[in-house]
């Protein structure tokens, strides 16, 4: 059958429409397609069986051009007229029925007044060519995949496998692709690596266990998965592919099928028609073969490492002696442990490593093994060693392997030092225990069970030195008489519990021969026979008199401590690092308006502001086992009260790893002292305002004078009738500016005079300098004092009270002013000045106030910050300004200092820059 007949046979299922039949002067060719063309390339007539496969066109009055029947890309091949096509082999693609393409090859020759084009079907030829080309591509990709997997490092192997799966999936447009390997340990299949396109469903994931569904597939050839492929009975396999079409390719080695390439959501017949099953198996073999080899190599390497590590940990290793050889081969780990040559050493040198007490026996047993095949099992010690009290012991075992010239002795040496030394220590300990029982304060006893009663039958020798009694003294109910009357009920209860539960632990007092009572800890166990009936009780008495009396003393001390804590006027508590109280005494409960029983579980930080709590937790975080104590003043908002201040001391309790597990704290109420300090600061502030009254009056009078002069000038103009709008506007604007200036001074006086905030705030020190100058600048200049102000506009934040810092600056400038004016009274030519400037570094900011008043007497520098110390005359000044200023700066975490410069005094205010600014 020709290729045209084959193609015609494949398309018989389609019924072509009726063709426009013409008279057939060409005859009826048996194969192919014959076209009779005119000189212009128009189709005059068609003949041959292939004409039924071509698309039908409506008959026309004129012959249709040949290009009408061809696909667009084929029209370029037949440009011109038929006479130009002679001698050319033409490959043409015709429009077929049902959007099919008919591939034909032919030539043109003249016939009569026209041209005959003879064409044959080349579809099978093209299919074979495409299959060959795809097979070559598949072989090339398989080689590249195999090379990549073989050449990569062990670490990059998973990445390389994923990359190769991605390359295969993208090359053949597979939505979901996975490599499943057989898991020998789990007896099932597991996804080793998978790839899915970005728009594909999440069908598998790396490491997914599949179980055994793939075992039901035929591993001899690739399998198509889907309802129309006849695999409905394998529902579990169908489920692996998301109940959609799929394709599974097996890979087999000497163990059978060990790998599957799973292609999900992939109709392989239509998506890759030119790839045969052999191509797919070749592709999978190039990936799975090297991969499994690498994985087995890795597994083998890991197994060797585990064996080597196990030998090293156990101190064991193999040894081998060849037949007739006087040398012994040792495992590397064993040779290293014995400190000998791992390449082999003489047998006598090996025996020389054994302790002389065991050497001859080992030599004899080796000879018996070599001559008679008697198995060797012997424990020997090594010679020498760093510790003669704990020698190194080895278990030596061996057997005969092979026959004739291949006969050899093989075995292993196992380090049993721990076992042997423990046995020896156990034997020594047993001997010491026997001696200890005979001389210790513990008394071992045995009581026989007889008719429901326990009768003393044995006491160790330690009974005599402990209590002065013997076994005979304790018989016939005499033991009950020796027990303290208050403890006899406890002893009877002990006996009943022993008979009921089989063991007991009790404490009671027993009288000795001198009439004194001893506290004994009684521990006993009941022994039964095979029928479960009591036979005897074995126990011991341990004299715990001193411990019992000490415990009573501790209990009394704890009671005194508890009373001391409860009655203490200080607040005492314990809390966790998260500030949850676990204990608190009554004073703390009183402050928090609850009972001591309600304190556990209360959050101590709930009474603090967020900033206070953060600072509190940060301070706790700085505690260490070396420096566990910290003291600070904390501010709280107690129920129904204003802010309270407590002086709080914490002591951290740490575990063995240095982790803070609990905090023990003691506090006292410092509210009244703090309020007195605030009152003192406020009083000093008001005193400062009083001292500035003259300057402030000048500061307010100055704008009032300007306004009065402006009003007088306006009234004079009004009297003369000379009124201009521009003139009035200018005067009114001047009056408004002076009113704002006076209002600003008054407003700042009001802000400065009120009480400070409860909690410290973040602010820029430059604002305090600006506020100070707004109150003092005009007054200073009015008195002839030159103010030298340097640039202070850098951005920096400190934590404290801006009004209090302003108060400190005012105190320093007023003191400097008084000293300068006093000096000018004595020397009229003196030119006073005060300088203010600032500087900063990464940790702090410093404000300097300097004058040229000649400085402070060096003998007074150490006392200048003391309360009530002043160099002014009696009745002038309180002596509190610098003392209060020092306290204000100290409360803000800074320092106020003074020293003399070349021309006068130089005060420095140093404040730390806020960490959270």
Q: Provide the CATH number for the domain around residue 246.
A: 3.30.450.40
The answer to whether residues 423 and 393 touch, using CB atoms and an 8 Å cutoff, is no
User: In 10 A of CB 162, how many CB atoms?
Assistant: 16
DSSP 682: H
Same domain, 80 and 171: no
Place of tokens 């006491």: 459
Per-residue pLDDT at 6? 37
Same domain, 344 and 387: yes
Place of tokens 């496998």: 161
Per-residue pLDDT at 476? 64
User: In 10 A of CB 561, how many CB atoms?
Assistant: 11
Same domain, 573 and 545: no
DSSP 216: G
And the tokens for 317?
Answer: 């290793």
Per-residue pLDDT at 536? 92
Residue 739 to residue 703: CA distance in whole angstroms? 7
Same domain, 169 and 219: yes
Beta bridge partners of 836: 789, 849
CA atoms within 13 Å, Cβ hemisphere of 760? 21
Same domain, 334 and 448: no
Residues with Cβ < 8 Å from 398, sequence gap 6 or more?
319, 366, 369, 375, 376, 409, 410, 411, 412
Residue 205 to residue 190: CA distance in whole angstroms? 10
Same domain, 829 and 773: yes
And the tokens for 10?
Answer: 């494949």
Question: 765-782 vs 693-720: helix axis angle to the nearest 10?
Answer: 70
136 falls within a domain: no
132 falls within a domain: no
DSSP 406: G
134 falls within a domain: no
Same domain, 340 and 468: no
Sheet with 376-381: strands ordered across: 345-346, 327-330, 316-322, 408-415, 393-401, 376-381
Per-residue pLDDT at 24? 47
111 falls within a domain: yes
Beta bridge partners of 510: 483, 518
Residue 205 to residue 188: CA distance in whole angstroms? 16
Q: Of 106, 67, 103, which Cα lies nearest the Cα of 87?
A: 106
- SS3 of 661, please? strand
Residue 16 to residue 4: CA distance in whole angstroms? 16
Residue 155 to residue 751: CA distance in whole angstroms? 72
CATH code for the domain in which residue 330 is found? 3.30.450.20
Per-residue pLDDT at 614? 86
Give the end of a domain, one of 669, 687, 708.
Answer: 669
The answer to whether residues 122 and 103 touch, using CB atoms and an 8 Å cutoff, is yes
And the tokens for 496?
Answer: 């009943």
Give the end of a domain, one of 641, 669, 697.
Answer: 669
Per-residue pLDDT at 677? 62
Per-residue pLDDT at 227? 45
Mean pLDDT of each 10-residue bin along the chain, 917 residues long? 38 34 49 86 87 78 84 78 86 83 87 89 76 79 88 89 90 90 78 90 88 77 65 63 85 88 87 83 89 87 77 74 80 80 80 88 88 87 71 88 80 84 79 67 85 86 84 82 91 91 92 90 91 90 85 73 71 90 86 85 85 86 88 76 78 89 85 66 57 56 66 73 71 68 58 55 86 78 85 78 83 86 87 90 90 84 70 51 80 89 90 79
Sign of CA dihedral 319, 321, 326, 331: negative
The answer to whether residues 40 and 16 touch, using CB atoms and an 8 Å cutoff, is no
DSSP states of 699-735: HHHHHHHHHHHHHHHHHHHHHHT---HHHHHHHHHHH
Q: Of 623, 752, 779, 620, which Cα lies nearest the Cα of 694?
A: 779
656 falls within a domain: yes
CA atoms within 13 Å, Cβ hemisphere of 793? 1
And the tokens for 866?
Answer: 């003391």
Q: Rounded to whole angstroms, what are the CA distances from 368 to 374, 640, 731?
A: 6, 98, 133
Per-residue pLDDT at 784? 86
User: In 10 A of CB 904, how many CB atoms?
Assistant: 21
Q: Rounded to whole angstroms, what are the CA distances from 594 to 635, 639, 665?
A: 19, 10, 19
Same domain, 880 and 775: yes
Give the end of a domain, one of 423, 453, 468.
Answer: 423
Residue 330 to residue 318: CA distance in whole angstroms? 6
143 falls within a domain: no
Beta bridge partners of 182: 189
Beta bridge partners of 46: 35
Same domain, 385 and 326: yes
- The residue range of the domain holding 7 is 3-121
Residue 53 to residue 95: CA distance in whole angstroms? 9
Same domain, 604 and 473: no
Residue 917 to residue 915: CA distance in whole angstroms? 6
Same domain, 415 and 357: yes
848 falls within a domain: yes
Residues with Cβ < 8 Å from 793, sequence gap 6 or more?
766
Instruction: Please state the domain count of the chain.
Output: 6
Q: Rounded to whole angstroms, what are the CA distances from 39 to 29, 57, 92, 554?
A: 22, 21, 19, 130
**Beta strand extents in 487-547 (DSSP E only):** 503-511, 517-528, 534-543
Residue 240 to residue 340: CA distance in whole angstroms? 59
User: In 10 A of CB 760, how many CB atoms?
Assistant: 21
DSSP 604: G
Place of tokens 């908002």: 637
The answer to whether residues 19 and 51 touch, using CB atoms and an 8 Å cutoff, is yes
Q: Which stretches of 81-156 are DSSP H helices? A: 123-151
The answer to whether residues 634 and 605 touch, using CB atoms and an 8 Å cutoff, is no
Residues with Cβ < 8 Å from 641, sequence gap 6 or more?
none
Beta bridge partners of 110: 115
Same domain, 208 and 113: no
User: In 10 A of CB 456, how many CB atoms?
Assistant: 18
866 falls within a domain: yes
CATH code for the domain in which residue 115 is found? 3.30.450
């Amino acid at each position: 059958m020709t290729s045209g007949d084959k193609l015609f046979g494949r398309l018989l299922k389609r019924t072509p429409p009726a063709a426009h039949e013409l008279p057939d002067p060409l005859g009826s060719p048996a194969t192919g397609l014959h076209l009779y063309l005119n000189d212009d390339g128009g189709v005059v007539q068609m003949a041959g069986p292939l004409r039924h496969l071509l698309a039908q066109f409506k008959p026309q009055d004129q012959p249709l051009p040949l290009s009408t029947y061809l696909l667009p890309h084929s029209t370029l091949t037949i440009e011109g007229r038929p006479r130009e096509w002679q001698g050319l082999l033409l490959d043409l693609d015709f429009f077929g029925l049902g959007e099919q393409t008919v591939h034909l090859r032919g030539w043109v020759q003249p016939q009569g007044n026209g041209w005959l084009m003879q064409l044959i079907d080349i579809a099978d030829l093209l299919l074979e060519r495409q299959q060959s080309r795809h097979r070559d591509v598949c072989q090339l990709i398989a080689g590249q995949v195999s090379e990549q997997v073989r050449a990569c490092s062990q670490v990059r192997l998973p990445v390389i496998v994923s990359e190769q799966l991605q390359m295969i999936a993208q090359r053949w447009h597979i939505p979901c692709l996975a490599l499943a390997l057989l898991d020998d340990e789990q007896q099932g299949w597991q996804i080793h690596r998978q790839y899915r396109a970005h728009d594909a469903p999440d069908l598998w994931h790396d490491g997914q266990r599949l179980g055994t569904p793939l075992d039901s597939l035929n591993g001899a050839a690739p399998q198509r998965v889907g309802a129309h492929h006849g695999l409905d009975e394998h529902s579990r396999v169908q489920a692996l592919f998301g109940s959609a079409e799929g394709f599974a390719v097996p890979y087999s080695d000497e163990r059978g099928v060990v790998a599957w390439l799973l292609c999900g959501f992939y109709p392989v017949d239509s998506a890759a028609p030119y790839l045969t099953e052999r191509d797919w198996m070749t592709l999978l073999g190039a990936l799975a073969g090297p991969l499994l080899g690498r994985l087995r190599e890795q597994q083998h390497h890991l197994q060797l490492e585990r064996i080597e590590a196990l030998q090293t940990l156990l101190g064991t290793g193999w040894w081998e002696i060849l037949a007739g050889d006087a040398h012994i081969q040792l495992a590397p780990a064993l040779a290293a442990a014995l400190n000998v040559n791992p390449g082999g050493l003489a047998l006598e040198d090996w025996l020389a490593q054994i302790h002389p007490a065991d050497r001859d026996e080992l030599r004899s047993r080796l000879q018996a093994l070599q001559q008679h095949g008697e198995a060797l099992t012997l424990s020997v010690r090594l010679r020498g060693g760093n510790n003669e009290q704990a020698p190194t012991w080895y278990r030596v075992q061996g057997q005969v392997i092979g026959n004739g010239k291949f006969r050899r002795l093989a075995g292993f040496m196992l380090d049993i030092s721990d076992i042997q030394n423990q046995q020896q220590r156990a034997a020594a300990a047993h001997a010491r225990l026997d001696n200890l029982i005979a001389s210790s304060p513990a008394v071992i006893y045995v009581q026989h069970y007889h008719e429901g009663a326990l009768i003393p039958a044995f006491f160790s020798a330690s009974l005599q030195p402990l209590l002065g009694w013997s076994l005979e003294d304790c018989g016939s109910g005499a033991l009950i008489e020796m027990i303290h009357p208050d403890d006899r009920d406890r002893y009877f209860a002990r006996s009943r519990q022993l008979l009921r539960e089989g063991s007991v632990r009790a404490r009671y007092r027993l009288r000795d021969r001198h009439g004194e009572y001893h506290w004994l800890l009684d521990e006993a166990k009941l022994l039964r026979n095979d029928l479960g009936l009591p036979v005897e009780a074995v126990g011991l008495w341990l004299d715990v008199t001193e411990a019992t009396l000490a415990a009573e003393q501790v209990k009394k001390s704890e009671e005194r401590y508890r009373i001391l804590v409860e009655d203490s006027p200080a607040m005492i508590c314990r809390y966790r690092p998260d500030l949850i109280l676990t204990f608190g005494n009554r004073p703390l409960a009183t402050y928090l308006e609850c009972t001591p029983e309600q304190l556990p579980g209360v959050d101590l930080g709930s009474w603090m502001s967020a900033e206070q709590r953060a600072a509190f937790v940060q301070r706790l975080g700085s505690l260490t086992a070396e420096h566990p104590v910290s003291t600070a003043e904390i501010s709280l908002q107690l129920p129904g009260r204003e802010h309270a201040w407590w002086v709080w001391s914490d002591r951290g309790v740490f575990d063995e790893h240095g982790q803070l597990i609990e905090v023990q704290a003691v506090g006292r109420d410092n509210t009244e002292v703090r309020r007195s300090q605030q009152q003192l600061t406020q009083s000093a502030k008001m005193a400062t305002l009083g001292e500035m009254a003259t300057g402030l009056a000048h500061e307010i009078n100055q704008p009032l004078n300007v306004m009065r002069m402006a009003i007088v000038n306006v009234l004079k103009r009004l009297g003369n009738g000379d009124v201009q709008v521009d003139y009035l506007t200018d005067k009114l604007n001047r009056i408004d500016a002076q009113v704002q200036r006076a209002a600003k001074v008054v407003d700042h006086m009001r802000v400065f005079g009120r009480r400070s905030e409860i909690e410290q705030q973040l602010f820029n020190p430059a604002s305090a300098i600006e506020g100070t100058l707004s109150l003092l600048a005009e007054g200073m200049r009015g008195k002839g004092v030159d103010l030298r102000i340097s640039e202070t506009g850098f951005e920096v934040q400190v934590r404290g009270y801006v009004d209090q810092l302003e108060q400190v600056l005012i105190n320093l400038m007023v003191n400097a002013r008084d000293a300068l004016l006093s000096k000018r009274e004595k020397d009229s030519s003196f030119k006073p000045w005060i300088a203010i400037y600032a500087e900063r570094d990464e940790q702090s900011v410093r404000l300097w106030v300097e004058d040229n008043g000649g400085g402070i007497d060096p003998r007074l520098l150490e006392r200048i910050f003391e309360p009530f110390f002043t160099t002014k005359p009696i009745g002038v000044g309180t002596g509190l300004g610098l003392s209060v200023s020092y306290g204000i700066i100290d409360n803000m975490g800074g320092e106020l200092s003074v020293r003399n410069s070349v021309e006068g005094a130089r005060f420095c205010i140093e404040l730390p820059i806020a960490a959270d600014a």
